[in-house]
Structure 1
């Protein structure tokens, strides 16, 4: 038994804390994760109460009392790592013995649970959160999730001066950016590879709902977190238009906090792109039950690419209500974005068999001044959940998105190693609407010694798109990627900016899942299945249906987490993915043909270790999916088809958190072996899949030097190995490495907190080919300087 002196030493030993104000129950859970303490409390005592924020190095006992500062509750510390939350006003004299020990009613000890409404609190260091929203399973802590998931916080977004999701996921070794919606004319905007498979911006979820997030880009300055779930996830998130095979991305909007927020940020991005961001939040009511959070962003000016300029205007509002039994929210936003002389939507194609020439100067203008990509989007999402009792909750929500984009741009096909090329112009007006709705019930009960957390969910996603598909290739001209000529703007006279309907998509689903717990939650087993229907109608310009399909699929999932000892989780999963089939590329003889939905499978095992303020994870996975291919028929025509299979096997190592006070690490290494199998007549069997680098590595470091109070220095290395451009494996992009540096200084100005930030991306100004998809290659990021100043009022 520990001596009294030893117990006091344990209680007094300082720990690093970074716990924001939040519902008291989740704050206590964050405290237990940071300290390893056991904290008991009754549900009645903490219901409806909010914690105070705590940060820095504090003894756990003192930190726990600070969390309770404004709650009227008290922490009764009964041992070196145990305490109970009590309400002094509810204690009678008979409850207190003569030795001063508080006698408690029935106590609940909760350590790992995360509520399903608020965003999970930050982990030590503040760059990532302690958990994430896993679709219909709700918020789950990293250590309880049978998947590899990382949630990047608003703190990281602000400190790295991120603008879109592409800037945030650049921190993840399992993710690579294919196109950046702020610089590219890609209709899908931001697009990525997760575990070697393509994920488009259309498939990004907004607070767990598909089809609601703005098209092309999502401004992350208005978001509380960006969550990256690796691997297929049909059970968790259902059908998404262009994703859910390699993984999914969910963005969580900012909401009002207990503390008032009035913040202004002025920013600069080279060459001369200036911006302003206003963030305002307040809570109202006797118990601060009503909240409003407003964000406004405007950027405009030239980018680091010669001749290119980018404009971005954003306005969002988040309203929420949190009562004893009812919680509700409404998020709405408007995004207006335009880029002049954007990089091409498909980047660069290369003549078959030719060596890939060196990447051009990334800061040099290759595209014409008359090229542009413009998009406007408006969205709204309303959600609620209501507690029927302490064990059962009903929930639901609905939202919509309307977008209108207009693109005049070129794709460039390189014909020789000297960089000579043919540019093909296209005009692409696109309009679309989508609506998404969910309803469900979740609850907890026990059958003998087995605990159950069940969720029954029904959802519906509707999408319609109007697109003019016959304006591709209306004009071509010769160019050179190293010395592009200036070409007069081609005439678009007679082209309509009111495109006809292209397709309708209806995707209803019903899902059920049960997470069973054994041996005091040391074993968690999740099993579930989703019934998904996908009905697609593709229209001719006259409104008649040209093609379509109505398919159904049942996608199961199984996951298990075993905690053999404290702070270690061993997990495994089997899960399937489901997405809309591909559309034959422009330029092929069957361009526009829509293929049926594609089903994928993943098997994964992994281990996670939480050191208290620093976590490491390792995983091994295999994902298989049908593969698309372009072949040449007897008439010499290019034909797009779905043929064969792509199998990605990989190993991932991730780390995040605070190694010691003032030193934070974020990143990891991913090894992926992408292999083609079952190809037509075995032609490419065993070849490496297009666009799947064997190695990807990210290491980010932040250091707070003790000799300058308020200063933080940061650095990041992003490295990617070579990748093949064609399925025959005759063309290959070389490996590339990018270095980023940054600094942050916290001070005071006019009596207000002021934070100054500076960063340089691609410090060495390295020219590199970034990624490849279906034979089209995109460029990397030129050296870019970022400056910002943030003041709180």
Structure 2
């Protein structure tokens, strides 16, 4: 990495004649050179010093070292800030929990198209998602499936992520807070919280146009424009537009249109207004279906099959989704130590889906299929006000965060829908013959309301320059109602004063290293059972989960490393089989425990090489309940390993190539531990080339996912599996103005 310096305001006048006449004749050639250098724009003092040094060889110049920190692009980005909800925004290095930040540039280099690929290089995260059907947001962290109702945020504000594939080319970064987050964000699954950060206005004008191609035949166009306008650059803007259309590798059609807009106004020196929005219509056809294992005779799964689109679904199947997000806020700086902010967010999501589920009957691949054809939608309103400040009490420094939050979620489900459990039967080795085209105008009823009102406060107290402690608590009033549309079976759960505390102690032996121990509680579960279960619409009762974690983080410039030892205790939730050809029920029963060790590191080797990797060792167990005690938790692998290598080609400036790989260990497909899913390894290749053409920045990217076209049965949900996405290539060209 290079660094240049320029002295502003330097005069370019030639030497005065009095100075020139006083220079000895033996030095006048150097003086002439100095005069020419000054006319060319070099500072006079620097040029005279050079001439004097050249005339006095017996004096040696003092050594000057110019250096700049070389960040490691691969691995933990510990200096990057991440939203911590009620903790405020702080760097990963100063956060006493395990976190991951994936930059927008990394997403672009790897040509990410679904949430499971976002965290491909994090061994704590396993992919259960399919970017083209209702399972788009299914992801497992530390062996726990993330909650699509509460685990996903946009700019720190909640939204319903069910079936949503985000426009990753329009994101600044994606943040993952692993483990329970009750204090930070309120109710949610203890697996973790994903926060999508949209692109913000830029201080200088920027504009880019990008054209992309993805197999088997998808074309993408993307425009990104940002900058500032008005008196004193008062107003900022960032506009992104994307159109995507064609045939993906694991479906037969996609059409997507996305627009995101970010605005801000520096109303005064201390007061800033912001606005962020996303509007996306995303429609897919013929996506690979899901495979239900609960009706399988015996314990042997059929041989793995291809996940290529069109094999088991035709143009009659579809998944249509619409996402709308609107956020606005004010931030006021009272003084350098205190700020007050308030933010309101409204989001709504609608989906219409005509999708198949195959009920596997035996190891030979025989199946019966069901077809669900219906529609659902949700909306989410959230308002949060926070105050953040720094103060002292005697010798102790404090960082205080306090606030109030209100949120309301409304679920609407289809009251009339097509749900055929015997649409077609067949064998995986033959073509699928089931056909059903939608012909119904769906009517929806209000299936559920969930409201949370909370107050939170945390204090990070610095006892010395090295020792600090964190204490925080959130108090929540929770009100949940679920309705059947008929009035029969309606339920309501309401409880006030629910406490979710957190505490941590941190030790920094040096500014670049943090050792910590933390504890946090959370209420998970709740909400309404999704429509793909027999007990759809049933209200679920929230329950408390607990997490204990001890960890270390260090950033030494040319290498970084993290380690975390954790234990999570939560109530068990899983699907229960109701017999062949019948949808399962979603039940809450007993308790499960997750204990594990996470390790991650990355390093820059010389100026060309970067290497990184991570691993997770995990032990899970059902410890309480009517059944399954002592069994491993479904979908939780015992071991995962990732590795990544990048190389900058020295004789082709701007060209970087890389390869990454991920091993996912064997896991149990069901809570009864009757079905095993084998381990598998996936490799990806990538290349990025940065250059300039006609004065414009040109970036060329290529990515090859699932390099070996590996086939495997991947865990999707308890008793559900999916075939691997087939090999696919992505190419893009971006010109920045």
TM-score for both structures, normalised by structure 1: 0.80
**Is the CA contact 2:275–2:326 (under 8 Å) kept in the aligned structure 1?**
yes
What is the match of residue 431 of structure 2? 485
Is residue 574 from structure 1 mapped to residue 533 from structure 2 by the alignment?
A: no
- Offset at residue 508 of structure 1 (A): 1.1
Is residue 207 from structure 1 mapped to residue 155 from structure 2 by the alignment?
A: yes
- Offset at residue 551 of structure 1 (A): 2.7
Is residue 741 from structure 1 mapped to residue 685 from structure 2 by the alignment?
A: yes
What is the match of residue 149 of structure 1? 99
Return the match for 2:118 from 168, 173, 185. 168
- Offset at residue 509 of structure 1 (A): 0.9
For 1:439 and 1:122, the matched residues in 2 are separated by 38
Q: 1:481 to 1:130 in 2, by over 3 A?
A: farther
What is the match of residue 86 of structure 2? 136
**Is the CA contact 2:297–2:362 (under 8 Å) kept in the aligned structure 1?**
no
Q: Residues 533-591 of structure 1: CA distance to partner in whole angstroms, max 9, x if unpaired?
A: 22111123246771121134200001221012342211111001223326557687645
The correspondence of residues 651-662 of structure 1 with structure 2, limited to 5 A, is 651-656=597-602, 658-662=604-608
- Offset at residue 725 of structure 1 (A): 1.1
Return the match for 2:630 from 667, 686, 693. 686
Is residue 399 from structure 1 mapped to residue 345 from structure 2 by the alignment?
A: yes
- Offset at residue 515 of structure 1 (A): 0.7
Is residue 185 from structure 1 mapped to residue 134 from structure 2 by the alignment?
A: yes
For 1:214 and 1:283, the matched residues in 2 are separated by 35
For 1:318 and 1:357, the matched residues in 2 are separated by 49
Q: Residues 725-772 of structure 1: CA distance to partner in whole angstroms, max 9, x if unpaired?
A: 122222100101001001112223333221111111001001111224
For 1:69 and 1:787, the matched residues in 2 are separated by 43
For 2:540 and 2:420, the matched residues in 1 are separated by 26
Is residue 320 from structure 1 mapped to residue 264 from structure 2 by the alignment?
A: yes
What is the match of residue 476 of structure 2? 532
What is the match of residue 508 of structure 1? 453
- Offset at residue 341 of structure 1 (A): 0.8
Which one has the largest radius of gyration? Answer: 2
What is the match of residue 697 of structure 1? 641
For 2:577 and 2:306, the matched residues in 1 are separated by 34
Q: Residues 276-319 of structure 1: CA distance to partner in whole angstroms, max 9, x if unpaired?
A: 000001112454342100000111101113x5212221001100
Q: Residues 419-463 of structure 1: CA distance to partner in whole angstroms, max 9, x if unpaired?
A: 111111111201222111101222111111111111111111111
- Offset at residue 713 of structure 1 (A): 0.4
Return the match for 1:224 from 136, 147, 172. 172
For 1:353 and 1:475, the matched residues in 2 are separated by 22
The correspondence of residues 588-599 of structure 1 with structure 2, limited to 5 A, is 590-599=535-544
Deviates more, 1:561-570 or 1:311-320: 561-570
Is residue 197 from structure 1 mapped to residue 197 from structure 2 by the alignment?
A: no
Q: 1:276 to 1:719 in 2, by over 3 A?
A: same
Return the match for 2:215 from 270, 275, 279. 270
For 2:709 and 2:431, the matched residues in 1 are separated by 24
- Offset at residue 642 of structure 1 (A): 1.4
Return the match for 2:559 from 572, 590, 614. 614
SS in 2 for 1:158: helix
For 2:530 and 2:163, the matched residues in 1 are separated by 20
Is residue 447 from structure 1 mapped to residue 393 from structure 2 by the alignment?
A: yes
What is the match of residue 290 of structure 1? 235
SS in 1 for 2:381: strand
- Offset at residue 383 of structure 1 (A): 1.7
Is residue 765 from structure 1 mapped to residue 713 from structure 2 by the alignment?
A: no
For 1:499 and 1:346, the matched residues in 2 are separated by 27
- Offset at residue 666 of structure 1 (A): 4.1
Q: 1:694 to 1:784 in 2, by over 3 A?
A: same
**Is the CA contact 2:158–2:380 (under 8 Å) kept in the aligned structure 1?**
no
Return the match for 2:722 from 778, 782, 785. 778
**Is the CA contact 1:372–1:408 (under 8 Å) kept in the aligned structure 2?**
yes
For the aligned residue pairs, the C-alpha RMSD in angstroms reads 2.7
- Offset at residue 667 of structure 1 (A): 3.6
SS in 1 for 2:219: strand
Q: Residues 603-626 of structure 1: CA distance to partner in whole angstroms, max 9, x if unpaired?
A: 000111211132100110000110
Q: 1:353 to 1:531 in 2, by over 3 A?
A: farther
Structure 2 residue runs of 5 or longer lacking an equivalent are 10-68
Is residue 430 from structure 1 mapped to residue 397 from structure 2 by the alignment?
A: no
What is the match of residue 591 of structure 2? 645
**Is the CA contact 1:211–1:461 (under 8 Å) kept in the aligned structure 2?**
no
For 2:380 and 2:196, the matched residues in 1 are separated by 18
Q: 1:362 to 1:745 in 2, by over 3 A?
A: same
Q: 1:762 to 1:363 in 2, by over 3 A?
A: same
For 1:288 and 1:212, the matched residues in 2 are separated by 35
Is residue 158 from structure 1 mapped to residue 108 from structure 2 by the alignment?
A: yes
The correspondence of residues 711-750 of structure 1 with structure 2, limited to 5 A, is 711-750=655-694
Deviates more, 1:463-472 or 1:578-587: 578-587
- Offset at residue 599 of structure 1 (A): 1.8
Structure 1 residue runs of 5 or longer lacking an equivalent are 1-55, 71-120
For 1:547 and 1:122, the matched residues in 2 are separated by 57
- Offset at residue 133 of structure 1 (A): 1.2
What is the match of residue 105 of structure 1? none
Q: Residues 323-363 of structure 1: CA distance to partner in whole angstroms, max 9, x if unpaired?
A: 52112210012101011012336766551533122220222
For 1:545 and 1:439, the matched residues in 2 are separated by 37
**Is the CA contact 2:447–2:537 (under 8 Å) kept in the aligned structure 1?**
no
Is residue 563 from structure 1 mapped to residue 508 from structure 2 by the alignment?
A: yes
- Offset at residue 640 of structure 1 (A): 4.4
Is residue 336 from structure 1 mapped to residue 336 from structure 2 by the alignment?
A: no
For 2:552 and 2:544, the matched residues in 1 are separated by 27
For 2:662 and 2:702, the matched residues in 1 are separated by 19
Q: 1:469 to 1:735 in 2, by over 3 A?
A: farther
What is the match of residue 9 of structure 1? none
For 1:655 and 1:712, the matched residues in 2 are separated by 20
**Is the CA contact 1:152–1:227 (under 8 Å) kept in the aligned structure 2?**
yes
**Is the CA contact 2:201–2:237 (under 8 Å) kept in the aligned structure 1?**
yes
Q: 1:163 to 1:628 in 2, by over 3 A?
A: closer
For 2:731 and 2:263, the matched residues in 1 are separated by 31
SS in 2 for 1:458: strand
For 1:387 and 1:143, the matched residues in 2 are separated by 25
Return the match for 1:460 from 390, 402, 406. 406
**Is the CA contact 1:651–1:671 (under 8 Å) kept in the aligned structure 2?**
yes
Q: 1:144 to 1:421 in 2, by over 3 A?
A: same
Return the match for 1:676 from 622, 627, 641. 622
* Number of matched pairs: 671
Q: 1:451 to 1:245 in 2, by over 3 A?
A: same
For 1:677 and 1:366, the matched residues in 2 are separated by 39
